[in-house]
Structure 1
């Protein structure tokens, strides 16, 4: 376990500094009370505790002062008492909306120089305290378990499980290391409960336990509305083409996940620019799946709010949640739709402030959060966002070449229970020159519907006919795509090898 000496000494320093109010935002009430008990003993101060169920009483005793269950009644009593000491208020936050209670708290705090009554608030939420009370307060932030402390907790629970069941817990070192990594950022009690649940489930630490830990961790953060959590099962084997992007990502997995890596050398993120249906979203999911980390999707639609300042607050909360879920991949889909290049003049400056918050966080973040931003039109993005240093690289996702189209067709045929060997895949790849991955998939899907309507098995001719009936995006929007490809030629790295001569002719 982590030693609590530093935390106790920090609390003692706050008490000796004569802050009239100490704020502790935490779910670990019993552990915090234990720390405060040690600090009170070291400082030779009386420790009193209050809750709405028990009223105010000397810590460790059962007898409470009569009629002090209500927060206002307790504050009136405390305002009249001359007893110096530490008064711990547990879960008092529902009373923060009462102006009389807030005034009494302020009067008690302002009289601290005459009667040293230190108010300590312990609650999972302390964000509604008025500014006049915050000015008189000091914050104490309990330590979260580090990797070594979590490993000790896991070993303790494993020994307890073996003692009670007679069975030795199962699981390889990689699964254990991943579990410890994903438990970072959680409070000690939550860590112990999740480890216990993982072991009691089947006596082993498995991928299912990792998914459960991540889901619980996301829910514990309140499930930020603008940040959706997804445990991606997509791997690069499920993505056709993009050979250069896959190689680039594979080289950066270890530096990103290595806990000893210096933050300045950790991969930061990429921009995936390209045509619609080219596989940018699938690639974003595959990065998270390949690295085995959670995928956090930032939704600009849920981010924006009509009230002044709420959009920026939602963005800060989303960033805080992403850091708490780290290591993770933060996917910002169609980023150009959330950040305007016109400087935000059309929306009262909201997008300009959002851009400033995003740039600041990208420059100052210390947690392993890898950004994958996708865009269909990079000309709509401000230059200060896409310059080198913000992102590691800009990749251009073009229409797949012949080899990639064959891979895509094979993947989707296998997904639908068809043997690719019976479908002349090279011929399909040649026939679908200029088609995106989404268009190839849709051709197979439509052909499957046609075959099922005839109560027959899917045939190569069905897919060929569907491909011939389709007018691909490369034809429908040829001019815009040529402009995009021309821009990327000298400014971006192609995610896959260039098209073959047959593709160019098509």
Structure 2
């Protein structure tokens, strides 16, 4: 719902205290001014720099130099039954004294009789406990595609500067999640660089905008599924869900996949390749960066990060090693329940969000994950990525031998129980040290040897519980299948 529509409803319902969370105060004030002009309502704005004024910048006769006087001035705006709005940008900076809190409380309570409204514009929600029941909090939404298209049309005014069709869709996809001010700057930079609106310059500024938040990082470019050996079923499932989704007349929204495997089997590489394969940006959420030192800050930063993700849709959200990211979510940590609350916020979003975000989570230790995390309808599928088989290993050898410029005829070392990461390491070392693959293999110790117990435990857990990343259907552990047939898995002694 747009800001004007929501504000119109609240004012007609006589909510005298309104807190608008917004990073774009000028645009919010412009929208409120337009609404008041159409409805013939009164509007005044006060800030610490310019004092009390009309939205057009003209001063008001009443001298108001401090925030306490600004709050008291709202009573002088009352006239008949005409609604009068006093907008206070960045006023959260002043709600620290008892006098101002009391003045706001009185102004809001009297406002219901006099139809005067206190509207606080702030990038954060910091309503004091004394005012919690008096204020309703709403959000100034980021510009949608229609608004971004209008902004673009207002900047690209010359012939051939404004793309059409699929090119315009790419530009709007690149601008999704930017504020109005950021979008204007991105479009202008694109015109300066390329002479027309193109996605590349916009993506550059968008990457910087995401980095500034400190909550997410943006991965673009790189390689597609062709750079990953094996995982055929997982690749086909993901590609079909994101590219060829829905029957005629039905467009279900893909949710994402959960990947379990021993370390080094290609989970993280797969996550980064998904975006290139389906033409979406990949947002990487580092849960550790969400942690704050103040009470409630971690939960608030989690909500902010998820709001950015929603605004960036369509996109892919990657959370690597999720069991470590939410360590303590099961109640075993000593963080006063912060991890549990962050985890609960993420689960609620995962279940309820309507944005076109494809979530890919990876994990190495399933024992640390609460059972509710992987239940149906949170993910489209939970896949187990086992150690690669012979066919997959041959494909991975070909990829990395070619990538590191090695001789394809060079004999391959024994790769029993090797992961894709270990094959890559062997090829990289062979290139780095200028030795044969067999010699480079002497410096590689597979994780299936160093952590054999944990690998086997993960396989046993995944048997019958997860989908196979290599073959259609449910994953079945080769070890358990052999044991069920009564065949010994121990090597024979000659």
Does TM, normalized by the shorter one, top 0.5?
yes
The partner residue of 2:466 within 467, 489, 492 is: 492
Aligned to 1:100: 99
Q: What are the residue-to-residue correspondences of 1:284-295 with 2, within 5 Å?
A: 284-295=271-282
Counterparts in 2 of 1:141 and 1:302: CA distance versus 1, 3 Å: closer
Deviations 1:243-286 (A, max 9, x none): 2222112112225799x974xx2221112111211111111111
SS class of match (1:15)? helix
Q: What are the residue-to-residue correspondences of 1:334-483 with 2, within 5 Å?
A: 334-339=321-326, 343-347=330-334, 348-416=336-404, 418=405, 420=406, 422-424=407-409, 427-428=411-412, 431-451=414-434, 462-468=436-442, 470-483=444-457
Q: What are the residue-to-residue correspondences of 1:173-188 with 2, within 5 Å?
A: 173-188=165-180
Counterparts in 2 of 1:30 and 1:331: CA distance versus 1, 3 Å: closer
Counterparts in 2 of 1:231 and 1:476: CA distance versus 1, 3 Å: same
Deviations 1:228-255 (A, max 9, x none): 3333523212212222222112112225
Q: Please state how far the C-alpha of 1:386 moved relative to its aligned partner.
A: 1.9
Q: What are the residue-to-residue correspondences of 1:225-240 with 2, within 5 Å?
A: 225=215, 227-240=216-229
Aligned to 1:74: 70
C-alpha RMSD of matched pairs (Å): 3.6
| Contact residue 344 and residue 350 of structure 1 kept, 8 A | no
Q: Please state how far the C-alpha of 1:395 moved relative to its aligned partner.
A: 1.8
Q: Please, which runs of 5 or more residues in structure 2 have no aligned partner?
A: 479-488
Aligned to 2:258: 271
CA distance in 2, matches of 1:327, 1:257: 16
CA distance in 2, matches of 1:361, 1:274: 25
CA distance in 2, matches of 1:467, 1:333: 28
SS class of match (2:111)? coil
CA distance in 1, matches of 2:401, 2:409: 11
Q: Please state how far the C-alpha of 1:174 moved relative to its aligned partner.
A: 3.8
| Contact residue 47 and residue 88 of structure 2 kept, 8 A | yes
Aligned to 1:147: 145
Pair 1:120 & 2:119 matched? yes
Q: Please state how far the C-alpha of 1:79 moved relative to its aligned partner.
A: 5.6
Counterparts in 2 of 1:438 and 1:36: CA distance versus 1, 3 Å: closer
| Contact residue 144 and residue 187 of structure 1 kept, 8 A | yes
| Contact residue 178 and residue 210 of structure 1 kept, 8 A | no
Q: Please state how far the C-alpha of 1:331 moved relative to its aligned partner.
A: 1.6
CA distance in 2, matches of 1:136, 1:58: 25
Counterparts in 2 of 1:328 and 1:446: CA distance versus 1, 3 Å: same
Q: What are the residue-to-residue correspondences of 1:33-112 with 2, within 5 Å?
A: 33-60=29-56, 62-65=58-61, 67-78=63-74, 85-112=84-111
Counterparts in 2 of 1:210 and 1:424: CA distance versus 1, 3 Å: farther
Q: Please state how far the C-alpha of 1:300 moved relative to its aligned partner.
A: 3.4
Q: Please state how far the C-alpha of 1:364 moved relative to its aligned partner.
A: 0.9
| Contact residue 75 and residue 116 of structure 2 kept, 8 A | no
| Contact residue 178 and residue 206 of structure 2 kept, 8 A | no
| Contact residue 381 and residue 467 of structure 2 kept, 8 A | yes
CA distance in 2, matches of 1:62, 1:325: 37
Q: Please, which runs of 5 or more residues in structure 1 have no aligned partner?
A: 163-167, 452-458
Q: How many residues align?
A: 472
CA distance in 1, matches of 2:458, 2:102: 62
| Contact residue 50 and residue 87 of structure 1 kept, 8 A | yes
Counterparts in 2 of 1:25 and 1:353: CA distance versus 1, 3 Å: closer
Aligned to 2:235: 246
| Contact residue 52 and residue 63 of structure 2 kept, 8 A | no
